[in-house]
């Protein structure tokens, strides 16, 4: 079996022991999960998400405290933000940049990365840019991205809508080929549908340097997701999610085109998925129904943010076990020793 990732560019660039990055999932990737992933050798990106200063400060400090004294693990700790929200309020980013331990990287998604990229460059902090189409690639390269994340529509949470989006399986190799010719030093991670050793091995074979893992690490003991939501996910299949604007409307999140949101397709989603225009025209009753569901943890109405990989999730272990299993499965496959367990 492959015994090390010594030839892997992502692990070498960030002193990792596995070519896996924790997706910075808003309100789920907190400090405890990030610390566990950093200890397991992965890039650990706290979910700064909408740039809430109090939340980001609390969770990033939690991770830093848990890793205190372990410089190797602290050097794997970073954060992720939504670009268009930082354009409205970058106080959380400003706070992060003032911390004594420089973040290993900052990931930006959904919007123009250039303004924040210039700030990160002035602090010598690596930039990770998540994109969903080939058309977005030049903007990320011009912004000086050290790492590109190619996100397929399989991914949970926000991403490109199904009309304009791409699958991970075709997007990754096309971006890999373009980078090889135009920006060969830029690293590439695959995102969307990677939940086991097969997914990581496939990403590497398609030309990526590693994978950004979301849903599989969302369904772990350290994740901040509600336990009831995790249990529902454990029993669900990949067919049980949908991508639309419904939950953004219900959550009163003013997301720009062309992005929408993948979550479990529950009863409330089914009620409105064919009547999105009507929902937008008069959202108040539906919003109240949704908020009541959230308050009561009634997931027939409240959303569960996961992707199509949920059909590969059948347990809720510690994050370190998930990373080890993905890593070992990929090594076995890449060594040609048969199917991953």
Give me the CATH number covering residue 104: 3.20.20.70
Residues 267 and 130 in one domain: no
Tell whether 307 is covered by a domain: no
Examine the domain organization and report whether 263 and 120 are in the same domain: no
54 with 156, same domain: the answer is yes
301 lies in some domain: no
Task: Name the percent of the chain lying above pLDDT 90.
Answer: 95
- Pair 49, 167 in one domain: yes
pLDDT of 38-67, one tens digit each? 999 999 999 998 999 999 999 999 999 999
- At 337, the pLDDT band (50, 70, 90 cuts) reads low
Q: Over range 219-241, report the average pLDDT.
A: 97
Q: Judge if 33 and 51 occupy the same domain.
A: yes
| Residue range(s) defining the domain that contains residue 247 | 227-295
Residue 1 — very low, low, confident or very high, per pLDDT cuts 50/70/90? low
Residues 71 and 50 in one domain: yes
In this structure, is residue 32 part of a structural domain? yes
What confidence category does residue 204 fall into, taking pLDDT thresholds of 50, 70 and 90?
A: very high
Task: Assess if residue 308 is contained within a domain.
Answer: no
| pTM for the full predicted model | 0.96
The reply to whether 3 falls in a domain is no
The model's pLDDT over 91-139, given as tens digits with 9 standing for 90+, comes to: 999 999 999 889 999 999 999 999 999 999 999 999 999 999 999 999 9
64 plus 199 within the same structural domain: yes
Residue 305 lies in a domain: no
Is residue 340 predicted with pLDDT exceeding 90? no
**Claim to verify: residue 173 and residue 245 sit in the same structural domain:** no
Judged against a pLDDT cut of 80, whether residue 338 lies above it is answered with: no
Give the mean pLDDT of the chain: 96
Q: What is the pLDDT of residue 239?
A: 97
- Nearest alpha carbon to residue 213 among 27, 68, 29: 29
Residues 16 and 139 in one domain: yes
Would you say residue 309 lies in a domain?
no
How much of the chain, in percent, has pLDDT values that exceed 70? 98
Residues 137 and 171 in one domain: yes
Tell whether 47 and 176 lie within a shared domain. yes
Cα(264)–Cα(267) distance, rounded to whole angstroms? 10
Residues with Cβ within 8 Å of residue 27, at least 6 apart in sequence: 47, 49, 55, 224
Q: 183-202 burial, b for 16+ CB within 10 Å, e for fewer?
A: beebbbbbbbbbbbbbbbbb
- Residue 176 scores a pLDDT above 60: yes
279 pLDDT above the threshold of 90: yes
Is residue 300, in this structure, part of any structural domain at all? no
Same structural domain, 127 and 53 = yes
Q: Report residue 4's pLDDT band, with 50, 70 and 90 as the boundaries.
A: confident
* Structural domain count of the chain: 2
- What string of DSSP letters covers 150-210? EE-TTSSEEEE-TTT---HHHHHHHHHHHHHHH-TTSEEEEESS--SHHHHHHHHHTT-SE
Strand 157-160 and strand 147-151: the pairing is unpaired
For residues 176-189, give the mean pLDDT.
98
- Render pLDDT for 246-270 as a digit per residue (tens, 0 to 9): 999 999 999 999 999 999 999 999 9
């Amino acid at each position: 079996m492959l015994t090390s990732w010594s030839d892997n560019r992502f692990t070498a660039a960030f002193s990792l022991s596995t070519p896996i990055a924790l997706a910075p999932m808003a309100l789920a990737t907190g400090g405890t999960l990030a610390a566990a992933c950093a200890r397991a050798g992965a890039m650990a990106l706290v979910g700064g998400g909408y740039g809430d200063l109090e939340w980001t400060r609390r969770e990033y400090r939690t991770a830093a405290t848990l890793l205190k004294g372990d410089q190797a693990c602290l050097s794997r700790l970073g954060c992720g933000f939504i670009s268009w929200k930082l354009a409205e309020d970058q106080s959380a980013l400003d706070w992060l940049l003032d911390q004594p331990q420089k973040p290993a990287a900052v990931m930006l998604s959904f919007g123009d990365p250039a303004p924040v990229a210039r700030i990160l460059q002035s602090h010598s902090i690596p930039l990770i840019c998540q994109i969903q189409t080939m058309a977005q690639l030049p903007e990320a390269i011009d912004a000086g991205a050290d790492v590109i994340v190619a996100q397929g529509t399989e991914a949970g949470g926000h991403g490109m809508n199904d009309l304009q989006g791409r699958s991970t399986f075709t997007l990754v190799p096309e971006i890999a080929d373009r980078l090889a010719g135009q920006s060969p030093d830029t690293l590439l991670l695959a995102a969307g549908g990677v939940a086991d050793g097969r997914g990581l091995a496939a990403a590497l074979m398609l030309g990526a340097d590693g994978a950004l893992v979301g849903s599989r690490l969302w369904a772990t003991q350290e994740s901040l997701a509600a336990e009831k939501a995790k249990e529902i996910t454990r029993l669900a299949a990949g067919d049980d999610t949908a991508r639309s604007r419904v939950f953004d409307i219900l959550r009163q999140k003013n997301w720009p085109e062309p992005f929408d949101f993948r979550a479990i397709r529950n009863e409330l989603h089914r009620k409105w998925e064919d009547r999105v225009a009507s929902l937008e025209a008069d959202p108040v009753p539906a919003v109240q129904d949704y908020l009541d569901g959230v308050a009561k943890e009634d997931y027939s109405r409240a959303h569960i943010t996961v992707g199509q990989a949920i059909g590969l999730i059948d347990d809720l272990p510690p994050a370190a076990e998930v990373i080890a299993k993905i890593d070992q499965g990929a090594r076995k496959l890449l060594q040609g020793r048969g199917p991953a367990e």
